[in-house]
Structure 1
Amino acid sequence: MLDRGFFINGAWEMPSGLDRFEVINPANGARVGSTLLADAATVERAVIAAEAVFPAFSTTPARQRADMLHRAATLVEQRAEDMARLLTQEQGKPVSDNMKEILFGCEVMRYYGEQAVRTGGSIRPSSAPHIRNLVTYHPIGVTAAIVPWNYPIDLYAWKIGPALAAGCPIIVKSPHETPLAIAMFVDCLHEAGFPPGTIADLPGLGPIAGEALSTHPRIRALSATASVPAGQAIMRAAAGNMKRLCLELGGHAPFIVFDDADLEEAARAAHRRAFSNMGQICITVNRVLVAKSVAPRFAEIFASLADETVIGDGMDPAIGYGPVQNAGVIARMDRHVADATARGGRLVAGGGRATGSGFDDGLFYRPTVIADAPLDSLPMTEETFGPVVGMAAFDSTAELLKIANGLEYGLAAYVYSGDLERAWSIAERLDFGAVGVNVNDTSELQAPFGGWKMSGFGRELGPEGLETYLQAKHLKLRLRSMT
């Protein structure tokens, strides 16, 4: 389905009169396919279908919902290679990375299938011998999700997995930039037996379809992965109907290197987390903060790794790093590099688009490192969401914490040190939702994922991931007789 429409009430439809978006391969500029763009009327039809199925689906035994999620995961696994290749053509990152993304999405669905059968209530202590307090949990109602283009299958699973496990129909505004592999994913959900109306897939634009989901009075909860400005717009739009929100927004992760760290190991870890998916990850390394005594040596190693990075079309099995997704990313990186160098930062690797054979028709940008980046420069203060990293040195723990905690972002941070006690102490004082100590990835299936400060609120993954889709009820009972 390379020219697709919407999935509503258990069927694909192609209504007329709506705008269509052309999907372009960022590696070569070739057309991949297209998608219709949903409007408010499309959202309304999906809500009506979801409301109709909610009473039956919400009371379906948890084991049955779990079995559907398991079947869907198996179907996705069977089609993962074709899905990964299509996603590479839409989004750019290598097929091998897309395979990891898709297979982790399958793990997420299986995990929440099992969480569904473990969700129970409790009997709480009471203030009198004849009173009993029961606390039970119930599906919140029709829900919605907004999924980004950087990890569309994975983050789709993060949202639909717990919603469906909880017994909530869900309407997804999938990314219009990468809608085609998602269509294959949705087919797997349908074939797994989810009733018509439980899942709707509506590619669309944030200011139109996203706003319609946010303002809709009969959608009870919405989970979105987005930028900080987009998250703020969602909050404003949802305020009128008191919709429950789970917002995972932008990040600006510091990567901290102490003088007793293994510099080679730390540099390799920073390189992978900075340039994987060309830095288009919310937990990517944006700024490297290095102890002053080892900063020159670390910069030398890190810049060398950046210069040696082989980039190209992600369809080539030998390629580990592909293009960026759109021209807007390149414009933002150029602006950040120009700002940092104008303020005195030293460009030690990269700094512009890759040119020559195999690059001219695509959106390729060299992995870029700016040493001695001023703390007020754009790479050190704004999320680049591309392969640009600023570096700065610190003298003391107090200075380090002031720099690391000094921004409005609070999603992820990383600490590398040979002294675990010191690293642990620093990690506890970092104002971030997750901290990796001597590891360059903070996501873990069984642990909560989400931000502090302007990086959002609510949590995905772990048992906490179900909380967006469940609401508590207190039943207070009086026993007539205790004999």
Structure 2
Amino acid sequence: MDRKLYIDGAWHEAKEAGHLEIRDPATSEHVGSTAIAGRADVDRAVTAATRALPLWAETHADQRARILHRAADLVEERIEAIAEMLTREQGKPVPDSRKEISFGISVIRYYAEEGRRLGGSIRPSSRSDIRSLVTTAPVGVVGAIVPWNYPVDLYCWKVAPVLAAGCTLVAKPPHETPLAIAMMVECFADAGLPAGVLNDIPGTGPEVGAALAEHPGIRMITATASVPAGQSIMRAAAGNLKRLSLELGGQSPFIVLDDADPAEAAAAAARRSFSNMGQICIAVNRILVSRGIHKDFVEALVAETRKIRLGHGVLPGVLYGPVLHEGVRQRVAGHVADAVARGGKLLIGGRVPTGPDYDRGFFYEPALVDEVPDTALALTEETFGPLAAIRPVADDREALAVANALPFGLAAYVYSGDLERAWTLADRIEAGAIGVNVNDTTELQAPFGGWKMSGMGRELGPEGIEAFRESKHVKMRVRDRLGG
């Protein structure tokens, strides 16, 4: 695929004619290329979105829903082709790509219906001749910034509620993985989305992301990004006081209490640590395990990690693929080396595999490091790769203290045989979502987002569409017209 920029209902070359080659991270083979937008292209896209806004905002919610449902139908029809493209550009195995796209379809359908439920209320007033009506309206043109780790899924998290809310948008898909998203854009276009409502321009964060955040024609930014990127967006968005919804980095603790089932907890920790090669914002970064169960848990976790077989994601049976690029591999290797240098014990993995199946790709064996001190990078920074650091704790109080010690608060996990103990911890952990005896905190109808430096605002659930509406109070005096 040689994709272009999608602006005002048509595919265009970038003004500066910049292109980037996309290569398979498992084989380094050519997959396609993408036009790379610049600031002039941002202006073109914002102009198109601004022009399309009045008509789309006035389009009845039922009609918007019909278009979204049709787009979801088309994605479902084309899911195999989109999944293979996603695997070839991002590296995750096809079953994971298919799962990601399926959830994206559910998100589109959910917000198609949530858009129909947007309404208002009549509030109590101070006088009998006063009526207070509270309504909402679309916030305006939205800028959406999407990451490369779950590009299709997180694209849907942003595009679906924005469109259902009656807003138009300019989306910046990741320049590293823009091809499957182009196939998603075609589904929206083929579903009958009017020109200019959705504009899609791949580009880099410092260029296109910054231009969106600064642009006076953008009223809101929704972004999934790193903490430094989120801070840059906030600074740039101050010019016209843009609304912000930012899901930023995490450093998720996985707490294993001494009454947990070690085998069950280990299986859950391994999958949440190494699925998508740990390139997940809610991946397990640090495992805080009670000393009373430490030995049994570690043995079970090593056994689970030993089962992992790496390979090209398009091959049958492959469940774990490469990381996206060499930068990810170097960061993980650096975190492993730092943890070991500070006294941690490397239990398994932490190597670049060799052989004809691996030599051309960005593969890295999932690593477990035990007895990692609090000062190690693996316990203080987001690795965003296949590394799980184990830190024994004496009791529940120490587990809570360590879990809350960092300035991040996206997700956390607690495994215990006693729900009262688990609830006590979950109630006190400073994070936007807590999984108790479950290793996934994402739920379509519940809000997703972070505390502290892990962001602001919420996606999914009703909160995910309410963010794109502005409230309006209409206060009116009415006369008694009842005839005598």
2:323 equivalent in structure 1: 324
1:462 equivalent in structure 2: 461
SS at match of 1:445: coil
Matches within 5 A, 1:348-427: 348-427=347-426
Contact 1:339 1:377 in 2 (8 A): yes
Contact 1:19 1:36 in 2 (8 A): yes
Following the alignment from structure 1 to structure 2, what is the Cα–Cα distance between the partners of residues 448 and 213? Answer: 25
Contact 1:286 1:383 in 2 (8 A): yes
Following the alignment from structure 1 to structure 2, what is the Cα–Cα distance between the partners of residues 209 and 436? Answer: 35
SS at match of 1:362: coil
Q: More deviation in 438-447 or 127-136?
A: 127-136
Following the alignment from structure 1 to structure 2, what is the Cα–Cα distance between the partners of residues 346 and 300? Answer: 13
Contact 2:15 2:37 in 1 (8 A): no
Following the alignment from structure 1 to structure 2, what is the Cα–Cα distance between the partners of residues 22 and 115? Answer: 38
Following the alignment from structure 1 to structure 2, what is the Cα–Cα distance between the partners of residues 316 and 250? Answer: 31
SS at match of 2:126: coil
Match of 1:120, as an amino acid? Answer: G
Matches within 5 A, 1:41-80: 41-80=40-79
Contact 1:130 1:482 in 2 (8 A): no
How many residues are paired up?
A: 482
Matches within 5 A, 1:78-117: 78-117=77-116
TM norm structure 2: 0.98
SS at match of 1:66: helix
2:172 equivalent in structure 1: 173
Match of 2:129, as an amino acid? Answer: H
Contact 2:351 2:365 in 1 (8 A): yes
2:220 equivalent in structure 1: 221
2:159 equivalent in structure 1: 160
Contact 2:332 2:383 in 1 (8 A): yes
* Corresponding position: 1:240 with 2:239: yes
Match of 2:153, as an amino acid? Answer: D
Residue deviations 1:344-363 (CA, integer Å, cap 9, x gap): 00000101211123011110
Following the alignment from structure 1 to structure 2, what is the Cα–Cα distance between the partners of residues 15 and 6? Answer: 7
Residue deviations 1:387-415 (CA, integer Å, cap 9, x gap): 00100111122211110000011000000
Matches within 5 A, 1:445-456: 445-456=444-455
Match of 2:421, as an amino acid? Answer: R
Residue deviations 1:288-322 (CA, integer Å, cap 9, x gap): 00001111221111112112211110011210000
2:136 equivalent in structure 1: 137
Match of 1:138, as an amino acid? Answer: A
Q: CA deviation at 1:476?
A: 0.7
1:3 equivalent in structure 2: 2
In structure 2, stretches of 5+ residues that fail to align are none
Q: More deviation in 291-300 or 73-82?
A: 291-300
Q: Identity of counterpart residues, as a percentage?
A: 57
2:443 equivalent in structure 1: 444
Residue deviations 1:433-483 (CA, integer Å, cap 9, x gap): 000000000000000000000000000000000122100000111123375
Contact 1:96 1:317 in 2 (8 A): no
SS at match of 1:113: helix
Residue deviations 1:211-233 (CA, integer Å, cap 9, x gap): 01000011101100000000000
Following the alignment from structure 2 to structure 1, what is the Cα–Cα distance between the partners of residues 130 and 354? Answer: 75
Match of 1:124, as an amino acid? Answer: R
1:126 equivalent in structure 2: 125
Q: More deviation in 14-23 or 378-387?
A: 14-23
Match of 2:239, as an amino acid? Answer: G
* Corresponding position: 1:479 with 2:478: yes
SS at match of 1:477: strand
Q: CA deviation at 1:13?
A: 1.1
SS at match of 1:117: helix
Following the alignment from structure 1 to structure 2, what is the Cα–Cα distance between the partners of residues 468 and 419? Answer: 37
1:284 equivalent in structure 2: 283
CA RMSD of aligned residues (A): 0.9
Match of 1:122, as an amino acid? Answer: S
1:274 equivalent in structure 2: 273
2:433 equivalent in structure 1: 434
Following the alignment from structure 1 to structure 2, what is the Cα–Cα distance between the partners of residues 253 and 32? Answer: 33
Following the alignment from structure 2 to structure 1, what is the Cα–Cα distance between the partners of residues 127 and 348? Answer: 71
Matches within 5 A, 1:171-210: 171-210=170-209
Following the alignment from structure 2 to structure 1, what is the Cα–Cα distance between the partners of residues 84 and 418? Answer: 42
Residue deviations 1:199-258 (CA, integer Å, cap 9, x gap): 001000000000010000111011000000000000011011100010000011100001
Match of 2:48, as an amino acid? Answer: A
Residue deviations 1:33-67 (CA, integer Å, cap 9, x gap): 11111111101111111111111110000000001
Following the alignment from structure 1 to structure 2, what is the Cα–Cα distance between the partners of residues 230 and 255? Answer: 26
SS at match of 1:446: coil
Contact 2:15 2:41 in 1 (8 A): no
Following the alignment from structure 1 to structure 2, what is the Cα–Cα distance between the partners of residues 193 and 94? Answer: 32
SS at match of 1:348: strand
Contact 2:14 2:36 in 1 (8 A): no
Runs of 4+ in 1 over 6 A off after TM superposition: none
